[in-house]
Amino acid sequence: MSEWLELELADRLAPVRAPERLWHSLQTADPLANSRQRSVRPVKTVLLVAAAAAASVWLAAVWRPEVRNARTAGFSANPVEFHVACRSCHTD
């Protein structure tokens, strides 16, 4: 490697003084607060997901689809009654 490059690198990459505001920026960024925030976030997420899952299960257990018409009602209840109902409706 050339001596020129060695000198340039030593010159251009020389150490510098850190700005005075660095200590202030450390004081405003509270590491304890950050770690608390990090640890709380997953717990919140887990609780929200669990609540959503429980709500879905409850809804699936409670909810029944409403009967839409006589055809589906008769078909699901009793085929014979459905046949009668069908006859009464259709006048062919």
Partner 1 sequence: MVLEGSERELVEACRRGEREAFRALFEIYRDRVYSIALRYSGDETAAMDIAQDTFLKLFASIHQFRGDAAFQTWIYRLVVNSCFDHKRRTRRLVPLAAGFLATLRASADSLADLLRSEVRTSVRTAVDRLSPSLRMVIVLRYTEALSYEEIATVLGCSEGTVASRLNRAHKALGRRLSHLANEGNRHV
The CB-of-66 to partner 1 minimum distance in angstroms stands at: 53
- Contacting residues toward partner 1, per CB under 8 A: 1-2, 4-5, 8-10, 12-19, 21-23, 25-26, 29, 31, 34-35
Tokens of 92: 């062919």
Q: What is the nearest approach in angstroms of partner 1 to the Cβ of residue 35?
A: 7
Q: Which is nearer to partner 1, 14 or 59 (CB)?
A: 14
Amino acid (1-letter code) at residue 64: R
**Beta carbons of 70 and 89 less than 8 angstroms apart:** yes
For tokens 């062919």, the residue is: 92
Residue 85 contacts residue 70 (beta carbons within 8 Å): yes
Cβ closest to partner 1, residue 10 vs residue 60 = 10
Least Å distance, CB 6 to partner 1, is 9
